[in-house]
Structure 1
Amino acid sequence: MAITKEFMKNSLKDKSVTWTEFLKNVKHTNSIHCFFEGEDAKYYLDRVEDYTSYPLSDITVYSCDGKRNLLKLYKKISSYEKYNALSKAFFVDKDYGLETIEVDDNVYITPYYSIENFYVHKSSFKRLIIKEFGIHTFDDDFKKVTEDFSSQYKEFLNIISPLNAFIYSFLKVGEEIMIDKFRLGDFIDIKVDNVTKLKDTGFDSLKAYYKEKLERDITRRRPHAETNLNKFNAVIDEVEIDFFNNLQKVIDNKETLTHGKMAMFFLIKFIEDLKLVNKKSNYFSRKRQGVYIDIQSNNILSNLSQYALTTDCLILFLKKYQHVAKEEIMI
């Protein structure tokens, strides 16, 4: 996202709830003010507490309802010199890395698509297996399940790379795409010992799949359905021209350019099947008792946060706040 003078002018006029909330809280000069795109606080909060000088009671949280709103708020706050001494941190997902974001060292940008990717890291899965399934690292079962996890995730990334490239290509030509139209369960089946491709993921197949969903919206008289289809038809040829170059880029950077929700889909399905085969006693050397992990919870970011990867760059970012001078701010 290019930060223009017009962008700044509009952002300074903003009367958002988050801005109003911030103005009420600036008097708390001994707090660190943390701004998140949405539910990301469920991942970040424990880490902010662990690696900064601030206890949880001194961490003020703001949910900005999306990346664009967060960056607008960041620019707005940064434009006021009187807030310079205030301890503040902004947390942004990298996404596909197509946006131009000019920020200072108060902004952390994930090295992966989003924080969901941190949950599917091999080291995260190992911690989950040890605590939730009670499997020691020296057990043969530990080696078996971690190797299967890595193998199936690698195959999963190979299969869905064209879908990531398809989405990436739309965004690159400046057109939004409704990602929720793609049901991953239509394309892939995930088991602990095998990942099966159910539907072709070539460009023509993805094009036909998405177009059919848009046309179905028209039949069902969904809001903006005809507009969405017209936008699709207007750019699809341009999307196709650059698709294969974008596909190669995704293939070369699978783990960092895989959509976070896709990565989380794999984790959920893998653990679902792992619980099932454990219950049936036909995977591990013995049935593992006391496995109660709720992988379908709507609060999965909180439930599994303790296992998610904490990157070195995030630790370095947060440690900067250990020695921030907490000066009084003249409001």
Structure 2
Amino acid sequence: MIDIVEVLLEESVSDCVAYTEFMLNYNKNEDKLYCFFEGNEDRFYYSVRIDLLASTGNNNSFICGGKEKVLKVYQLIKANNYYKNVKTSFYIDSDFDENEINPDIYITPTYSIENLYCTKESFEKILISEFKMNPKENDFIKCVENYISIQERFNEETLLLNAWLACQSDFRYENKNNTYLKIDKNVKTYFDKIVLTDLSSIKELDGIKTKIDIENIFVDSPKIENDKLETKMAYFNTLDKSNKFRGKFILKLLENYLCRLQSISGVNPHMFEKKYSSNLRYEYATICSSLSQYATTPDCLKNYISKF
């Protein structure tokens, strides 16, 4: 049996809880797949897909507490000969980072798993299953078109913010700087109740419209040169923003849209011909678990999981 205390001392991994949990759970005589995720949201998304697609039905999962911790656990396991035959899978978000391709590690083709909840395909499934809309009727078509239109408007309004955050990611990579911005805490209020009550559009995003606005929010952040920011914005304009922009922002839009839709269904004759309702509670804190079944599953994820 491996001496866990000795390993912790030798490898300086006392801060890596997931690795410790893995060592305590590992049994080389059992045919298990050990899965390592960044956070709980990832477990909600991936676990059901792993159970469905992996040939082994005996899976253990661990929350590492961030991307760097997942990569650290990977390195520790691969460096230890005791685990040479263990079945492991690792899942990280692409983010705005310069990610090294490694066939052992799954990297989302989108910014994060949250983007996969916000696709047109996912939204259509929600309308059909939760709001009982008929995909062949005008209400369904109108609602999908409206959601995509609002999402596109939102992406345009957050172009500067996403580009600035991507430049910050570049700065960390280029300068080997591990400091991170508390993004969600600092911008949360700007995205509250962002969709107008009649679903006609989104509110004005005052406070994040200029570079100065954003720098005032993140007062301790490194300064980004104007030419780098403009270059990044031009680059993002060539991409599918719904895939490559920060997923948590777009997920917040989806959550608010579904709340508005739930509240006006049947009472807005200008929007719908029929009455619709949904019994599901749409709350940002639980949306990744409640809507996991409807999120898009990329082919690259299917191929990765099917290897096991």
The interval holding the TM-score normalised by the smaller chain is 0.7 to 0.9
Q: 1:93 & 1:11 partners in 2: Cα distance?
A: 29
| Contact in 2 for aligned 1:188/1:199 (Cα 8 Å) | no
The match for 1:260 is 247
The one-letter code sitting in structure 2 at the alignment partner of 1:37 is E
The match for 1:275 is 262
Q: Deviations over 1:26-79 (max 9, x none)?
A: 215311000000111111001001111122xx1101000111111111011011
Q: 2:259 & 2:55 partners in 1: Cα distance?
A: 38
Question: TM-score under structure 2 normalisation?
Answer: 0.86
Residue 187 of structure 1, CA deviation: 9.4
Higher relative contact order (CA 8 A, sep 6+): 1
1:199 aligns to 2:186 (yes or no): no
Residue 247 of structure 1, CA deviation: 1.0
The match for 1:46 is 48
Does the residue aligned with 2:85 lie in a helix, a strand or coil?
coil
| Contact in 1 for aligned 2:38/2:67 (Cα 8 Å) | yes
Residue 80 of structure 1, CA deviation: 1.8
| Contact in 2 for aligned 1:11/1:76 (Cα 8 Å) | no
1:99-118 aligned at under 5 Å gives the runs 99-101=98-100, 103=102, 105-118=103-116
The match for 2:4 is none
The match for 1:20 is 20
- In the alignment, which of 208, 214, 218 is matched to residue 213 of structure 2? 208
Distance 1:147 1:34, change over 3 A: same
Question: TM-score under structure 1 normalisation?
Answer: 0.80
Q: Which moved more, 1:125-134 or 1:248-257?
A: 248-257
Does the residue aligned with 2:282 lie in a helix, a strand or coil?
coil
Q: 1:107 & 1:267 partners in 2: Cα distance?
A: 28
| Contact in 2 for aligned 1:171/1:177 (Cα 8 Å) | no
Residue 154 of structure 1, CA deviation: 1.1
The one-letter code sitting in structure 2 at the alignment partner of 1:50 is L
Distance 1:119 1:255, change over 3 A: same
Q: CA RMSD in A?
A: 2.2
Gaps of 5+ in 1: 1-9, 215-228, 322-331
The match for 1:190 is 195
The match for 1:178 is 182
Identical amino acids, percent of aligned pairs:
26
The match for 1:167 is 165
Distance 1:271 1:30, change over 3 A: same
Does the residue aligned with 2:275 lie in a helix, a strand or coil?
coil
Distance 1:140 1:186, change over 3 A: closer
Residue 100 of structure 1, CA deviation: 4.0
Q: 1:11 & 1:178 partners in 2: Cα distance?
A: 32
Does the residue aligned with 1:116 lie in a helix, a strand or coil?
helix
Q: 2:114 & 2:262 partners in 1: Cα distance?
A: 21
Does the residue aligned with 1:130 lie in a helix, a strand or coil?
helix
Q: Deviations over 1:118-152 (max 9, x none)?
A: 00000000000000110111111111111111111
The one-letter code sitting in structure 2 at the alignment partner of 1:63 is I
The match for 2:275 is 287
Q: 1:54 & 1:186 partners in 2: Cα distance?
A: 41
The match for 1:152 is 150
Which 4+ runs in 1 deviate beyond 6 A? none
The match for 1:75 is 75
Q: Deviations over 1:237-264 (max 9, x none)?
A: x443410001112222212321011010
Distance 1:284 1:242, change over 3 A: same
Residue 11 of structure 1, CA deviation: 9.5
Gaps of 5+ in 2: 1-8, 173-178
| Contact in 2 for aligned 1:11/1:73 (Cα 8 Å) | no
Residue 280 of structure 1, CA deviation: 2.3
